[in-house]
Structure 1
Amino acid sequence: MFKSATASSSLVMQAVIIPGNKSSEGRLIQAVALPWFAIIKQLEADPSLAFKIPAQKWEEIIAGAYKKAGFDEVTLTPRSADLGRDVIAVKHGLGSVRVIDQVKAYAPDHLVTANDVRALMGVLQTDTASKGFLTTTSNFAPLLRKDPLIAPFMPSRLELIDGTQLMQRLTTIANSS
């Protein structure tokens, strides 16, 4: 087990994304690096590792997921002054879709609150993004999804991704062609 923990720590320290040029909102992501796939495999085998990954690395993992899922432009925002957006992803096609994602790398007992979600909704409105995601390694406060100020926006403008859904999404994306 000690070897496994050391290997996991070493893997998490490696680059999981290949950064591109800077934009006015942050750093564009060109592609995911091989360690991204290895981290997802380890998380699949042991989901508790999610709580050992630093917040900044989680933002990179999520940015990589958007890139791997086929978004045309993926931006990883700076650690500070990110205006409540950790990842910005744009998909071009018959029009453009702009998605913002706020990533909360929380311990299992640290739940995302209604105020956290409402703050994202304010960011979503001022950013004029098509949709917002709040992604957490943990879970959401009880009854949050029924909150009368939040529920009307789900799922068309807002999606809440808990730790279980996050692992499912990452596994699906990693295993797609």
Structure 2
Amino acid sequence: MIERGEKTADGTLIMAVAPAWHAILWVIMQNPECIHQIPPDKWEEIIAGAYEQDGFDVVLTPRSGDGGRDVIAEKRGWGSVRFIDQVKAYKPGHLVTADEVRSLVGVLHADQRASKGLVTTTSDFAPRILSDPSISPFLPTRLELVNGKALVERLSNLAAG
């Protein structure tokens, strides 16, 4: 789905998306429920490809030992940013827990160059997660939660734009 470049200390650079990436986005736009049939490792590639298509320099981290970071996306220049994205490919009803989100807050503290962390899921988040006192202070400027519905919308907008 993606064209990989050289290895870095964090993972593999993403050079471009392959035609399969665009085809999968088209299928998702036609049938959003199919997001639950895509394997987790492919979701990491889809998200990495989305950042690449949006003009970021992207690193896809290894499947294990990634330090809680699945995708690292950077834009340099005026207002440089570095996003850390943790991708959770869950089935409907399997909700991302507050502990999983708190884990990303810890990753943000460890990666001093990170501007923002995102938890992107094909499912949704546990109830009251937005009001959790250890999560809410970070929303939305340091931490962003992207559920399945918002994910499909973002991918559709990217494919259309």
TM-score, length of structure 1 as denominator length: 0.89
Which residue does 1:4 correspond to in 2? Answer: none
Q: Distance in 2 between matches of 1:44 and 1:159?
A: 23
Q: What SS does the aligned partner of 2:118 have?
A: strand
Aligned residue in 2 for 1:161:
146
Worse-matched range after superposition: 87-96 or 138-147: 87-96
Query: Which residue, out of 82, 91, 96, partners 2:80?
Result: 96
- Report the counterpart of residue 81 of structure 1 in structure 2: 65
Instruction: Compare CA radii of gyration and give the structure with the larger one.
Output: 1
- Aligned residue for 2:105? 121
Alignment correspondent of 2:21: 36
Give the whole-Å Cα distance in 2 for the aligned partners of 1:76 and 1:60: 7
Once the two structures are TM-superposed, the CA of residue 93 in structure 1 deviates from its matched residue by 1.0
Structure 1: which 5+ runs fail to align? 1-15
Q: Residue 43 of structure 2 corresponds to which residue in structure 1?
A: 58
| In structure 2, C-alpha distance between the alignment counterparts of 1:173 and 1:32, rounded to whole Å | 13
Q: Which runs of 5+ in 2 are unaligned?
A: none
- Tell me the distance in 1 between the aligned counterparts of 2:59 and 2:150: 22
Amino acid at match of 1:20: G
Matches of 2:48 and 2:100, distance apart in 1: 20
CA RMSD of aligned residues (A): 0.7
Contact 1:68 1:174 in 2 (8 A): no
Map of 2:31 onto structure 1: 46
Percent identity at matched positions?
57
Q: Would you identify which runs of 4 or more consecutive aligned residues in structure 1 move more than 2 Å? A: none
**Matched letter for residue 166 of structure 1:** L
Per the TM alignment, residue 95 of structure 1 is displaced from its structure 2 partner at its CA by 4.5
Q: How many residues align?
A: 160
SS of 2:152 mapped into structure 1? helix
- 2-structure distance, mates of 1:27, 1:114: 29
User: What letter matches 1:107 in structure 2?
Assistant: K
**Mapped partners of 1:95, 1:155: distance in 2:** 17
Q: CA deviation at 1:96?
A: 2.3
